[in-house]
Chains A and B, each alone.
Chain A
Amino acid sequence: MEFLLVLLIGLLYASGTYMMFRRSMVKLLLGLILIGNGANLLIFLVGDINKGNPPVIPRDFSSLQGVYSDPIPQALILTAIVISFGLQAFAIVLLKRVYLVTGTDDLDQLNSDDQDI
């Protein structure tokens, strides 16, 4: 399971990076989303994946017993997902706006302001 996740994370980072190098704005956006998901999965992975061991203190005990899943990474991912959701929503609206204003999807065409180089 861990090994599969490692492969998946690597794939997400690699494909995200590749997509960001493309000139199309939509691909740029997809790249950002893929890399963001890769980072979330990475945090999930470092929290040690073990099935069926919730971090709940059993009755009659005062502390956690045995092996348990670390709850913090899941809280972190939850925060990161919410934040990236907001940012991606903004990025999508921005790209749509840019497309409407400039009439192009090509990042290389976005240089109307570069008169003096």
Chain B
Amino acid sequence: MTDPFIILPVLLHLLTAILLIFCWKKVRAQKIISVAGNLVIVLLAFGLWMKVWNLGILTMQGGGWEAPFGITFAADTLSATLMLLTGIAGLAVAIYSCAGITKNRIQFGYFPIVHFLLMGLNGAFLAGDIFNLYVWFEVIIISSFVLMTLGGRKPQLEGAINYVTMNLLASVIFLTAIGILYGLTGSLNMADLSIKIADIENRELVHVTAILFFVGFGIKSAVFPLYFWLPSSYNTPPSAIAAIFGGLLTKVGIYALMRVFTLIYIPDSFLKGVFLFVAGATLVTGALGALGKTDIRRLLSYLIICHIGYMLAGLALYTEQAMTGALFYLFHDIVIKTNLFLIAGLIYKIAGTYKMSELGGIYRRYPKLSLVMAAVFFSLVGIPPLSGFWPKLYLISESLNSGSYILLASILIASFITMYVIAKLWAEVFWKEPMVVTDLKAAGFDALSNFKKQLLVIPVIALTALTLYMGFGAQHIAVLAERISTELFHHQPYIDAVFEPKN
């Protein structure tokens, strides 16, 4: 069905960003506009999701040019769900930023850039044209570069060098793949490519482009062995920014992988083997990397890498059940990783440090808040019936069915190590007694007004509630993930929706 309103979340983010630029120095106005804009966008995204759920895939042709000549936007259930989750994560981060980001950063354009970043994410989820996807990726990375370096402290700048270099390289590889693919097929529309790629006789070159896409998206989603930029940069910006990055940026790479390798390319046994190896290695190396870390945010950065492996494992097994697990994990991961970095920021506000050796006693001082955080940690580890458990169940049973025992072992090892590091984190940060407040200026949680405290705590509680819903209401999420998985593997309706004649 054609529906021009699917683009509305993207446009609203643009509009909000422009409004924010007009209030450049007015900090309070920026906070209000940003939160209000995000709230409207979440409602819109929910409306879009309902519409897609009831009516099926919605499309929009840019300028009314019919596919494959115009630029296509298509919202299937996967796109709509990810846009909804992006909206929720964006709203949570915007509320948190009102108290968690200093005045200086806001006066240098923090909020407008966040909205440009969210606009890029929404656009990438909607893009039905591979070059358009590239352009949205560029919108995302240029915004993230600015957010990463905003403030200009020395560690930030040093981390940004790795981040900028690897992302620019990934873009060039992505662009190279698009160029060769266009030379082969003469098309950029993903639905059109899906039809045309089957008829190409030069299979070797098709495989080369597939690998180029995998490397390009692999760098962005931080898979083994292309992840080294992530732990060296995600621990440097303020936690609200790290929350957006950790929750959403690597996931858009996974989204692109899922889209490209179900719609355009159907992986052959070699490519599946590569995926399997990379998924297993990402799980194990990410988990091992997290083992030795004593800084909370570095530990979380490695856990991001580790858990990307679960989603890639679903793609590697390439069955509907496994994809269901991967999608379930994707939804769970967006919410929980955003929340974890917000929690890390909260801990920093309370104790003034990210170092586990200097932290401690938070449970005694803030028992209720600690219980909320514990729910998040338990969900992350995947204690049944919380939300981390269900997707792993899918993945483990599918890897048993397909006889991928090495992947199975990697999944189990990664789960165990995640549990160990989270238990260590809990013991060090919450239970351990001595707490030395090192940086009194930063340790200002008690000194904050009640309203500001609520601004920091409410997003964490709301995201925790969503995580708990994903665990206890797992049947809803499973139905959703199963439907998306079916849509991905039987993509004829997607192609039909894009090529639907105009009425």
B46 at interface (Cβ–Cβ under 8 A)?
A: no
Closest to A29 in B: B165
- Pairwise interchain contact A98-B161, C-beta atoms closer than 8 A: yes
- Pairwise interchain contact B158-A113, C-beta atoms closer than 8 A: yes
- Pairwise interchain contact A94-B168, C-beta atoms closer than 8 A: no
A91 at interface (Cβ–Cβ under 8 A)?
A: yes
Interchain pairs with CB closer than 8 A, number: 97
Complex CA distance for A35 and B168, rounded to whole angstroms: 10
Closest to B156 in A: A113
Chain B hits for A90, CB < 8 A: 142, 145-146, 164
- Pairwise interchain contact B168-A32, C-beta atoms closer than 8 A: yes
A111 at interface (Cβ–Cβ under 8 A)?
A: yes
B491 at interface (Cβ–Cβ under 8 A)?
A: no
Closest to A44 in B: B179
- Pairwise interchain contact B165-A43, C-beta atoms closer than 8 A: no
Contact of B154 among A70, A76, A101, A107 (CB under 8 A): A101
B138 at interface (Cβ–Cβ under 8 A)?
A: yes
Contact of B157 among A36, A83, A97, A117 (CB under 8 A): A97
Q: How distant is A67 from chain B, measured CB to nearest CB, in Å?
A: 14
Complex CA distance for A20 and B164, rounded to whole angstroms: 13
Complex CA distance for A101 and B161, rounded to whole angstroms: 13
* Total contacting residues, chain A, CB less than 8 A: 37
Contact of B169 among A20, A70, A80 (CB under 8 A): A20
A10 at interface (Cβ–Cβ under 8 A)?
A: no
- Pairwise interchain contact A87-B236, C-beta atoms closer than 8 A: no
- Pairwise interchain contact B176-A111, C-beta atoms closer than 8 A: no
Contact of A102 among B138, B158, B293, B294 (CB under 8 A): B158
A95 at interface (Cβ–Cβ under 8 A)?
A: yes
Closest to B236 in A: A113
Contact of A36 among B152, B164, B172, B294 (CB under 8 A): B172
Closest 8 pairs (CB-CB, A-B): A46-B183, A113-B155, A43-B179, A110-B158, A39-B175, A42-B179, A98-B157, A83-B138
Q: A76-B178, A114-B232 are in contact. List 12 more A-B contacts (CB 8 A).
A: A39-B172, A42-B179, A46-B183, A79-B135, A86-B142, A90-B142, A90-B164, A98-B161, A102-B154, A112-B155, A113-B158, A116-B292
Pull 7 A–B residue pairs with CB atoms less than 8 Å apart, ordered by A.
Answer: A25-B161, A32-B165, A39-B176, A83-B135, A110-B161, A112-B158, A116-B294
Which B residues are within 8 Å of any A CB, using their own CB?
Answer: 131, 135, 138, 141-142, 145-146, 149, 152, 154-155, 157-161, 164-165, 168-169, 171-172, 175-176, 178-180, 182-183, 186, 188, 232, 235-236, 292-295, 298
